[in-house]
């Protein structure tokens, strides 16, 4: 249970602040493009942090890396609450993500240490569901906190959670690493990553999963501003409507777990991508022919994320299966690829919104189209061999 709570720390911190970003733009006298860096830099550091926390945990042990991560995350939350300048806020978000990346990585790694490769599979599912639940509830909670208090209160809540979890971890957790490595050689680590990248199928499945995720990153980065600036709503309205999108993802993930017992992984990925493409098509067409409204924005995105929930677990599993002898490396690299591209795409949101909302929706439409194309050529290459 403690590892589940630790795994939720970073997703909560990331998503609690999203509904309050329009308010923070006004309070800190900045613009959307600069404020967007608080989101994209978080994703960027989360990507790099997961790459480095694994090797550090193998060398120093899981416990010190986890506790250090929680402490860094706590101070990131405190600095964010005290920030009176956008640059300080961005730096604080980077600290949050650096500490949070260690929390996510160590929760998975310590679960594997404690339960072994076979028994840990069922335990991992609880971690995944907990992360999904935190991503579902955080925007709604953050929206109401911002509405009734202010955006700084969100970081006070985050720091309180981080402080409490850190105390529990220091009191109840012990070292779980069965055998520490004797070297932190960068050359050895880079060699392992390069070997994984020699698999064209791994790259294909990884890109397929990443393109679908990019559609979500584009939406989550733009939706708060669409609600406030174009629909006349507030942060709580965004949180309420976002529940549809997040719950659709959870439902898709649950259906995926049941359906993969009956149909192949590649079929599941294709079905999920087609449903996501259908949702993106509705998003583009509905808002091109009628006035922008909550239904025309959030219902199609709920369909898109339902498809993502169907396809993403299978796409990630298929990618890691391409490098079973280096599963840990493949998993970390997959998260890095998805987050690094997602962070880059998310930073395009202000530019796309300045051009037009329909341009933004068109780029969202392209994401599942590229995902489906990538998956098609991956499967085609596999059967040629």
85 SS3 class:
coil
Give the contacts of 28 (CB within 8 A, at least 6 positions apart): 35, 83, 84, 85, 86, 89
Alpha carbons 339 and 345: distance in angstroms, whole number: 10
Nearest to 279 by CA among 243, 313, 312, 303: 303
Query: CA–CA distance from 12 to each of 114, 134, 163, 287, 377 (Å)?
Result: 25, 6, 14, 31, 36
Q: What percent of the chain has pLDDT over 90?
A: 30
Question: What confidence score (pLDDT) does residue 76 get?
Answer: 95
Question: What confidence score (pLDDT) does residue 174 get?
Answer: 85
Nearest to 363 by CA among 193, 216, 190: 216
pLDDT tens for 103-154 read: 888 887 787 777 765 565 556 667 767 777 787 788 889 989 998 999 999 9
Question: What confidence score (pLDDT) does residue 122 get?
Answer: 55
Alpha carbons 254 and 258: distance in angstroms, whole number: 7
The CATH topology of domain 192-385 is Growth Hormone; Chain: A; (1.20.1250)
Q: Could you state, in order of their start, the residue ranges of all structural domains in the chain? A: 1-174, 192-385
Q: What percent of the chain has pLDDT over 70?
A: 91
Question: What confidence score (pLDDT) does residue 119 get?
Answer: 61
Question: What confidence score (pLDDT) does residue 229 get?
Answer: 86
Structure tokens at 240: 């309420």
The CATH topology of domain 1-174 is Growth Hormone; Chain: A; (1.20.1250)
Structure tokens at 164: 């409490």
User: What are the residue ranges in the chain where pLDDT is below 70?
Assistant: 116-125, 128, 181-184, 257, 320, 323-329, 331-332, 382-385
Q: Decide if 1-174 and 192-385 have a common fold.
A: yes
- Dump the DSSP string for 174-220: ----SS--S---HHHHHHHHHHHTT-HHHHHHHHHHHHHHHHHHHHH
- Torsion angle, CA of 328/329/335/337, rounded to 10 degrees? -160
């Amino acid at each position: 249970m403690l590892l589940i709570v630790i795994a939720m720390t970073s997703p909560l911190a990331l998503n609690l602040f999203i509904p309050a970003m329009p308010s923070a733009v006004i309070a800190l006298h900045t613009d959307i493009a600069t404020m967007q860096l608080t989101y994209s830099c978080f994703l960027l550091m989360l990507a790099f942090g997961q790459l480095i926390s694994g090797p550090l945990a193998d060398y120093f042990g899981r416990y010190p890396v986890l506790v250090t991560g929680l402490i860094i995350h706590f101070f990131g939350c405190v600095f964010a609450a005290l920030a009176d300048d956008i640059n300080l806020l961005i730096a604080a978000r980077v600290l949050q993500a650096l500490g949070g990346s260690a929390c996510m990585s160590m929760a998975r790694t310590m679960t594997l240490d404690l339960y072994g490769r076979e028994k840990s599979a069922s335990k991992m599912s609880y971690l995944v569901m907990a992360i999904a639940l935190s991503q579902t509830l955080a925007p709604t909670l953050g929206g109401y906190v911002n509405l009734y208090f202010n955006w700084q209160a969100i970081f006070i809540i985050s720091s309180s959670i981080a402080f409490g979890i850190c105390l529990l971890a220091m009191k109840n957790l012990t070292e779980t690493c069965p055998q520490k490595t004797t070297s932190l050689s960068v050359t050895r680590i880079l060699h392992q990553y390069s070997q994984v990248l020699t698999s064209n199928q791994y790259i294909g499945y990884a890109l397929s999963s990443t393109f679908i995720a990019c559609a979500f990153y584009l939406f989550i980065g733009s939706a708060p501003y669409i609600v406030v600036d174009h629909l006349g709503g507030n942060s709580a309205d965004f949180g309420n409507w976002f529940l549809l999108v997040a719950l659709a993802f959870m439902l898709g993930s649950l259906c995926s777990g049941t359906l993969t017992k009956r149909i192949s992984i590649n079929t599941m990925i294709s079905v999920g991508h087609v449903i996501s493409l259908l949702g993106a098509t509705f998003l583009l067409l509905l808002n091109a022919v009628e006035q922008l409204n909550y239904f025309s924005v959030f219902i199609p995105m709920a369909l898109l994320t339902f498809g993502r929930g169907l396809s993403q677990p299978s796409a990630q599993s298929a990618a890691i299966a391409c490098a079973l002898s280096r599963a840990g490396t493949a998993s970390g690299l997959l998260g890095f690829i998805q987050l690094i591209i997602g962070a880059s795409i998310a930073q395009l949101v202000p530019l796309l919104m300045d051009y037009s909302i329909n341009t933004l929706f068109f780029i969202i439409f392209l994401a599942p189209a590229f995902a489906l194309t990538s998956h098609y050529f991956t499967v085609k290459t596999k059967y040629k061999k």
